[in-house]
Amino acid sequence: MVETTKLMSVCLVTILLASLFLISGVSGTDTDSILSSTNDSKTSNAGNDTPRPTEPPITRFETEPIITGQIMAGSYVLGKYGATVTYDAKQGGNDPQYYPALVVKCIDTMYITEMKISVTGTKPDGNPMGALDFGSNAHLLTPCDTGTQWPTALGGAMSTIASLIQYAAPAGIGATIAIGQTLWGGGPSDGYTVTNGFSGNSAYTKYVIGGIGSLTPKERGYQYRFSLHCDPDMPGEYKFTITYRIVLSDGSIPGGIVEEFSQKLTYTFNDSPKITSYAQSLVDAYNTGGGGYVSNAGNVLEKKIDLKYANLYSGSYTNGATLIVKMANTPVSGYLRLYGYSPSANGGVLRVFVTNTAGVWTEVLHTNLYTPNGAGFIDCGYVTSIVNVAIIAYHEYSGYPSYINVDAVFIKPY
């Protein structure tokens, strides 16, 4: 259910994004024995030969109707905008993802000096959601030439918005704005900063320029990604509001011309004990080789994403820091994910293994975890009939130790 509220001029902006990540575990053995007992498959099932489902956990996106409008000063048109929100079409789980998108263009004498997208909400019991109930914060900013793309289905939102506002005054929209699929960096050096953060009960992304100059943009596309973290013990309706703010200025107007609008959405979290299996208990935590460690291992046992991390560091070449968790008393199947990041500027090699009741280990993920935007979901694919998951920060490249921080480990059945 969606309800649109206009604060200063007709407008709406919302995005949904999904990013996933997971891992697998071991029990009572060292890293070398785990590595030597596995096959070479990086994505195979553990436990039997049942084919993996072909449908990934999050692929079906829905988009709200696009809202367009003009930014006015009296009878003068200073700019135009378009906005929409894309979201994961699968409902009922406890971590739905949203991707608001906003495209803005102004006239020659005006400049875009600020854009902000923020979200607040209430839980089924009426209490406000905390800022940390909104996670996976990230943004896309155009025009940019290089970087990491989000799914095409999401990047296409900007292109669709741009096509709808193309012929409204002020006329035109740049081709690079319409693309809108590049993450972090590139683009004109206009001295801007973008902050993704939390304030009170709000999560937000905010773009601000350093000062008006020849490179200050007159048009820009902006996308936000956040996840809604529902309380596993509190099913029901989660109501939240996404607020958008645009500021235009020619350098002579104190505070600029402000356009602000909001969109209200409701998400229903279903009560089902089979929705998600979280890590239940620690099996083992250790480091092979010198100079490594596993600390705060118990932080992965929280049944929610709370930004409290287990820390894995492997300082010895070809060795690993290993954390093994038990997922269930009986084998479980589903999409294995973890929430975490590498604090290293060069990323860190992450290896994930799962074991079945027969003690057979299978590697399901082997990647250099590079997370310039901070923590996010790590997808390890579909696993079948597994009991334990092993997370390994592996020192694969000489001179480049691996740092991995993990907040949560869980298996979603869909």
The answer to whether 391 touches 25, Cβ cutoff 8 Å, is yes
Residue located via tokens 């099996």: 283
**Distances 242 to 120, 204, 250, 376, 390 between C-alpha atoms, Å:** 7, 9, 27, 21, 38
How many whole angstroms separate alpha carbon 265 and alpha carbon 248? 27
| CATH T-level topology, domain 31-56+274-412 | Jelly Rolls (2.60.120)
Instruction: Give the pLDDT score at 266.
Output: 87
What stretch(es) of the chain map to CATH 2.60.120.260?
31-56+274-412
DSSP element (H, E) containing 36: helix 31-36
Give mean pLDDT in consecutive 10-residue pieces for the chain, a chain of 414 residues.
40 30 37 50 34 39 80 93 79 76 89 93 91 80 53 63 84 68 43 84 89 79 86 84 93 90 85 68 88 92 85 90 90 90 88 89 92 84 92 90 92 77
Concatenate the DSSP letters of all residues of 56-114 into one string.
Answer: -SS--EEEPPPEEEEEEETTEEEEEEEEEEEEES--BSS--EEEEEEEEEE-TT-EEEE
Task: Give strand pairing partners of 405.
Answer: 311, 341
What is the three-state SS of 214-260? CCCCCEEEEEEEEEECCCCCCCEEEEEEEEEEEEEECCCCCCCEEEE
Peptide bond into 56 cis (omega under 30): no
Tokens of 120: 């607040």
pTM: 0.56
Instruction: Give the pLDDT score at 93.
Output: 67
The answer to whether 150 touches 61, Cβ cutoff 8 Å, is no
Instruction: Give the pLDDT score at 294.
Output: 94
